[in-house]
Amino acid sequence: MDKNVKICIIGGGPAGLSAGMYLEKKGYTNYTILERNDRVGGKCWSPTYNGRRYEMGAIMGVPSYYAVHDVEEFCGITHDGPKLNRNYKNAQGKVIEPFEPKKNILKIPRLLKMKKQLKVFGELLETKYKGYDINGHRGVAEGRYDGFAVTPEREPVSGVNPNLKDLALPFSEFCKKNGVELVQDIWIGPYTSFGYGYFDEIPAGYVVKYLDFQTTMNFVKVNLWTWKEGTQWIWEQLNDHLKNPARLGVAIEKVERKDGKVCVYIAGEAEPEVYDKIIVTAPLHIPDKRADGQKGMDEYFDVRDDEKQLFSKIDYERYDVLAVETKPEDHPEISYYVFDNMVKERLGHLMVYYRRWKDEVNQVITTYSLRKHKDMKEVPYEDCKKMVLDDLKTMKNPASNVVNEWSVYYFPHVFSEDYAAGWYDKVEAMQGKYDTFYAGEVMSFGDMDETAEYSRELVERFF
């Protein structure tokens, strides 16, 4: 492609900013990033309280976050944040140690069985499901893999593996089929509590591509990266180092694609901005009207029938975050996971609460809850908020005040039927059609590294 091609990137989150960085690395400098918010970072949002930043969105990374490491190298920064650790409580607020045999004598047979299944699962992923961890989902429904290896070099790999079709199954069925049901006890912590849905509804492809074996083991061993100024700072730094930083507060009213050009109509501008290509990292479809006014691409683009039909299949999680103050004597000594509440029967309850700074009790803690399952009635936001605050009382860490709250468009995905029917291959076949490229969370996964990595691959494939 001509290096002078004029490119519009919609969205200033990890996907959009990374697309700008990788384009720059390949010699493309005629790009523009448009962001509707007054900040960059997307779901990496790190506000400040009492002189320190806390996390409302993404919290941490692991050493296998190779795309995030690309950003660090590009900006000359590193992961310099507080060391994290956690403990566990049951729904009644009692501290438990679910993986410690000496503290769970009656569960020793189950723990030994889980350990054995974990080993089997690791071997299955590397052999029976070879290619499972490739970023993105193209080819999976057809029993093949095509992409870049999950290594620092990310060498191109491809192959045929009919077993990959199993990744369309809900993760619970996938585990049952392979006789490793108990590994869900390990995967649930960094999956469901981080807002990515329940194992009986989400295709296994999402679960194992995000939580590939090495990433999960890093979470288990608490081999984590954090950033002193928060995850948002990574993307602020990237934005500052780009030749063309994101333009903030941009309200796009309409996008028209015709005659080989993309016309972007922006509020307050008399004439449209005209581009040759457009990369959409913002939501493609939002199935309900949101209070924050966020819209899907299909609401302001001149969408074609194939786009409209495919994007209408996308759903998302209703994942809520509260930042709360406590009295000093009520501040938790560590972060806590509540496994009892990570099941659909406890929809809307507190799943995890997070203490970021160990040396200061005059800081907020953040709470996380899911309030939607595809087969259940959605829990209203205010009801969920009350449940979480009541749960904090049960945990003996009551909130004295709510400092911040966020209910964000989170983890766009499709369900098993559409995944198995080749949704991803159909969308991938449209890449570049209408001079439009689709990136962002739904094309890979909803964490910052997967979205950034997909942008890298998109640039490698098409630019």
The rounded average pLDDT for each run of 10 residues, N- to C-terminus, in the chain (463 residues) is: 95 98 97 98 97 96 96 97 94 92 82 95 97 96 94 93 98 98 96 97 97 92 95 98 98 97 96 98 94 93 97 97 97 97 97 95 96 96 98 98 96 98 98 97 97 97 96
Residue 259 has a CB neighbour count (10 Å cut-off) of: 7
Q: 103 and 213: one domain?
A: yes
Q: Is 270 exposed, middle or buried (0-12, 13-18, 19+ CB in 10 A)?
A: exposed
Q: 213 and 235: one domain?
A: no
Structural domain contains residue 2: no
448 and 14 Cβ atoms separated by less than 8 Å = yes
Q: What's the pLDDT at 134? A: 95
Q: 323 and 400: one domain?
A: yes
Q: What domain range includes position 369? A: 318-411
Q: What's the pLDDT at 150? A: 87
Collapsing DSSP to helix, strand or coil, 407 comes out as strand
Q: 271 and 241: one domain?
A: yes
Q: 161 and 51: one domain?
A: no
Structural domain contains residue 270: yes
Provide the pairing of β-strand 7-10 with 277-280: parallel
Q: 179 and 242: one domain?
A: no
Q: 168 and 234: one domain?
A: no
Q: What's the pLDDT at 99? A: 86
Q: 306 and 435: one domain?
A: yes
**Which of 15, 210, 219, 216 lies closest to 132, judged by CA?**
210
Backbone angles phi, psi at 410, to 5 degrees: -135, 135
Structural domain contains residue 91: no
Q: What's the pLDDT at 104? A: 76
Q: 216 and 324: one domain?
A: no
Q: Name the domain count of the chain.
A: 3
Q: What's the pLDDT at 390? A: 98
Q: Is 421 exposed, middle or buried (0-12, 13-18, 19+ CB in 10 A)?
A: middle
The CATH number linked to 142 is 1.10.405.20
Structural domain contains residue 35: yes
Q: What's the pLDDT at 351? A: 98
Q: 263 and 401: one domain?
A: no
Q: 301 and 444: one domain?
A: yes
- Final residue of a domain: which of 204, 220, 236? 220
